[in-house]
Chain A
Amino acid sequence: MAKLNAKIPEGTIHEKWTNHKFSIKLVNPANKRKYDIIVVGTGLAGASAAASLAELGYNVTVLTYHDSPRRAHSIAAQGGINAAKNYPNDGDSIKRLFYDTLKGGDYRAREGNVYRLAEVSNNIIDQCVAQGVPFAREYGGHLDNRSFGGALVSRTFYSRSITGQQLLLGAYSALSRQVGLGKIKMFTRREMLELVVVDGAARGVVARNLVTGDIESYSAHAVCLATGGYSRVFYLSTNAMNCNTTAIWRAHKKGALFANPCFTQIHPTCLPLHGDAQSKLTLMSESLRNDGRVWVPLNPGDKRTPGQIPENERDYILERKYPTYGNLAPRDISSRAAKEACDAGKGAGDTGQAVYLDFQDAIKRLGKKVIEERYGNLFQMYELITAENPWNVPMRIYPAPHYTMGGLWVDYNLMSSIPGLYVLGEANFSDHGANRLGASALMQGLADGYFVIPYTIGDYLAGTKFTPVKTDHPEFGKETKEVTDMTKKLLSVKGKRTTDDIHRQLGRIMWNKVGMARNKKGLQEAIKEIRGLREEFWQNVNVPGSAEDLNQALERAGRVADFLELGELMAVDALDRNESCGGHFREEYQYEDGEAKRDDKKYSYVAAWEYEKASKWKLNKEALEFEYLKPTVRSYK
């Protein structure tokens, strides 16, 4: 268990981070340039980390599989970013943001981490404004705020419905500046395929040049993975098409523990499915729930158009079930309410797999102009995809896999169980427990990159005696061979099924049995089915093309190979956790009214899985202790 020391600093909760910053070792400014750091991924966490580390003087190498850092999927976040500024004077504070986040995560996150997140949230807003990020303003020139799910205060900063884009472009600007100054070496169209571990510590990565097919080696004193989440394991998700688990999964197989893999977030406000050729699900910002009302027909099987259903035959499910939070109930709860209604035959539209999100009352109350200002581009986007006009007909929405709270296990310093391997942003498991609140992903990504890693990585670098390791070290040769062999293997199967076909099947297994509601029998079946499918993949996949040039089919195949392993671990983890909490809902564990039944006596721990061999993991537990907020039944009623 020694390796599961979370290293939470001593002191009262509001002193921990301050004390820690004082006690950690510093690297002499003149020595920083002697340290090489690799950052993989250029979303909010990766770009902000790379820029901040380069500003400090470290030699930074950045890898991304995109053609530009700006394409990372952080760009698609619409709604906003939380901070405890309390500008609206509505009762917010660092403590309240801490409380909301910990409660929102259903008490499955660490107090120390969450408090630090709330503490640095305000610095993030200051930093982004200084970079020229155009947050929405009031007429007096001050910053504007809006509300998000799971909170009773307005603490979300936003830029129209493009907040993620604007924040990422801010971090990307900072990154570009360092590239221009020569402090960052930027390698685009490179996909990390192996972590290189020398004498037990992370010393580099092996990556494929996606244009030439060359397998390249990069050495360093420390490696930061900021490679995002793994919702694409469900095939259909809100994630971008290239999002994958490969970087963290291959690090996991090198010894990094994978924590809480079954904690996945199903986002309530996505567009419903349209057909078999569908490649992804489109998210509509949660901010819509500020003014939109969620309802379904009161009577099962009511197939009238929404306009024909009178007020007294509508069931405003969230307002009825959760009067205090109403339409702003957290994501896991709202998604389950939608599923429950559809399962009861009250689903909207032809498919019955949707609920209405209705703006008529808000338009009456506030006028079309205000709604246009707030959500204009979301309304447009909806109409573009569905060919329905949300100004006249209520939107139809349905939950979709979105964010993964699970990820590689990290300690308070964001270091994984492999010394020198840091994991940032969605790729780690640290701050959101079993459910993430809206507008908190941007906050965590930037907190990790701008304000945590620049401090904590120095402690490791200053306190470690390094032996020189360059890319001619035999470990690089070994990993290069491993990657080359796998590539050859993928190309040589020449079976009958495409990668996407197998991926779709995996997605169906995951959605039906490891999705919004899980049970023991389904999970056991899922494990068996995933193993079978994995076997079939390696015998029957057909990957055309060559290893020596741009080959998107090959890229997809490698990623799906990893999803086929991760999917099994997600089911194993869900099966182990005999309780319901946050996004993990086990049908066997619920109260009579259908609310999640947590079991703090038995499951107040982080499940950190250690890879032993295929289909075999060892469970390590990190106990969660709550000193400041005693876990209670999480109620939004």
Chain B
Amino acid sequence: MADLAVRIDGISKRFAATLAVNNLSLSVPRGSVYGLLGPNGAGKTTTIRMILDIIVPDSGTIELLGQPHRATGVSNRVGYLPEERGLYKKMQVRRVLKFLAELKGVDAKTADKRISVWLERFSLKTAEKDWGNSKVDELSRGMQQKVQFIGTLLHEPDLVILDEPFSGLDPINSQALKDAIVDLKHAGKTVIFSTHLMDNAERLCDSVCIVARGEKVLDGEVKAVKAERGTRNVALSIDGDASGGVRAVLDDPKLVARMDDQNRFFEIELAPKADPQELLKKVLAAGASVRRFEMISPSLHQIFLERVGATGVEEGMSGHG
């Protein structure tokens, strides 16, 4: 287990009356993409802030890249994109980026070179206009997000931590971010991101940890997590709306234990001892035109709903993930 980017052992944090994180342990393998999943208020941001030594845990230990997380120089190898993003509005983009890089121990010359490369890569510097010389508040929101992302990576960190990176992104920027995460993985970096969007996590992550109410619900490789649940799920896709007859079949508790109804697509968890062939026959008999009927591992989304359920989401739990 020597090759871990992050090793957390039994950390807890209490804020006044609320226990934000309770005895949480997790391991993030180097070079992996790791998802920290959980509903709002689960303790994701608190956990991330403890990893970054922004807040101090009441108990437990954290190791980053094989060293205690407070060791000198460790923070220079970590890049962080907070959930609430922001930059100095009145500062020139290049100066902000240089400041952020220098805070991580990059010398001025190297920083200048890298800034130019990154600005071009994110099309903030084109033949017509170099946004690097503009003030931050002259940039559009999307551009500011790009600048912030550049700021996270300028010091070429070995470990990149992104808190809710997809929130507030349009589909184009969202795709660009996914590409960037994959690029980082290919470059051998470790990426940890928190999200409550299971689809992104399922596609991007090698491993995940699901937390709810400050406690770990499950963790491990995505493959393993899914395999553990077996293939008792059915992906069903039909033409047109589900008519009354089809509905009745799907509502039969002898066949279906749980169902994610997305109108024309259903992810169905079979009831114990139910026969999938019987389900298919009944659906066809009810007059549905079936486009897809497949035995699958449950999606992270299903696992999340099953394990966390409605009870994991509690109102008023600190406001931060």
A joins B in a complex? no
Residues of A with Cβ closer than 8 Å to B?
Answer: none
B contact residues vs A (CB 8 Å cutoff): none
